[in-house]
A and B are shown apart, each in its own frame.
Chain A
Amino acid sequence: GNSVTQMEGPVTLSEEAFLTINCTYTATGYPSLFWYVQYPGEGLQLLLKATKADDKGSNKGFEATYRKETTSFHLEKGSVQVSDSAVYFCALFVGGYQKVTFGTGTKLQVIP
């Protein structure tokens, strides 16, 4: 079956630090990969996506590259801000299954 594994949190960083949140996946077929972000008290919203191998998704300074050879989709940001404090979810979708599979989420706290 399909599954997503992401690093345990919480992750605490100082403002302007470099961020990496690891995500690996197992999938039947050729998945699309996503990062969703959940700010406190809100629903999830799409942060970025990649639909095929070697694609790089980017948004708001965040980036992730679809690595088929390592089945990974790690999230990175060069300089985090306090406003980036949130829970980040890695997810995958395989066409024909109608379901998105989520990882367990990684909480990021950025301190001034």
Chain B
Amino acid sequence: NAGVTQTPKFQVLKTGQSMTLQCAQDMNHNSMYWYRQDPGMGLRLIYYSASEGTTDKGEVPNGYNVSRLNKREFSLRLESAAPSQTSVYFCASSAGQPNTGELFFGEGSRLTVL
């Protein structure tokens, strides 16, 4: 039962470097999400994809881009990393259509930007 798989689990970047966080789900879910988790801030939505071929901004999209590659995969790209992007990133999916709001999370990717 893989569920939602994120890679990498840990990454250290220097300011200005780029990287892509990968996410894949094997539950045939329609909707996928990227959140960041920061101390005292809870989870904040970066981008989401309600269905294959669509993406929308969440609360904190600046500095990020996303690609819904197919129904299974949803990647998050940092084009020019900044220290403010040091965080733990979670990918999640939900069945959708209709969306019940029940999310399934990956284990997280801890990113440090120096």
* B104 contact set on A, CB distance < 8 A: 46
Known interface pairs A42-B107, A98-B31; A93-B42 also in contact (CB < 8 Å): no
Contacting residue for B107 out of A43, A102, A103, A105, CB 8 A: A43
Tell me how far the C-beta of A35 lies from the nearest C-beta in chain B, rounded to whole angstroms. Answer: 12
Size range of the chain B interface in the assembly: 20 to 34
CB proximity to A under 8 Å, residues B54-91: 56, 58, 90
* A42 contact set on B, CB distance < 8 A: 107-108
CB proximity to B under 8 Å, residues A64-112: 89, 91-93, 95, 98-100, 102-105
Tell me how far the C-beta of A90 lies from the nearest C-beta in chain B, rounded to whole angstroms. Answer: 9
* B108 contact set on A, CB distance < 8 A: 42-43
Known interface pairs A43-B4, A43-B90, A104-B41; A98-B100 also in contact (CB < 8 Å): no
* A95 contact set on B, CB distance < 8 A: 98-99, 101
* Interface contact A49-B42, CB-CB below 8 Å: no
State the interface size on chain A (CB cutoff 8 A). 23
* Interface contact A98-B105, CB-CB below 8 Å: no
Complex Cα spacing A95 to B101, Å: 8
Known interface pairs A43-B108, A104-B40; A34-B58 also in contact (CB < 8 Å): no
Q: Kindly report which residue of chain B lies nearest to residue A98, judged by CB atoms.
A: B50
Which of A43, A49, A104 has the most chain B CB within a 10 Å cutoff? A43
Residue positions of A touching B, CB distance < 8 A: 32, 34, 36, 41-46, 49, 51, 89, 91-93, 95, 98-100, 102-105
Beyond the given A34-B101, A100-B103, please list 14 additional residue pairs across the A-B interface where CB-CB is below 8 A.
Answer: A32-B100, A42-B108, A43-B4, A43-B105, A44-B92, A44-B105, A46-B102, A49-B101, A89-B43, A93-B99, A93-B101, A95-B98, A95-B99, A98-B31
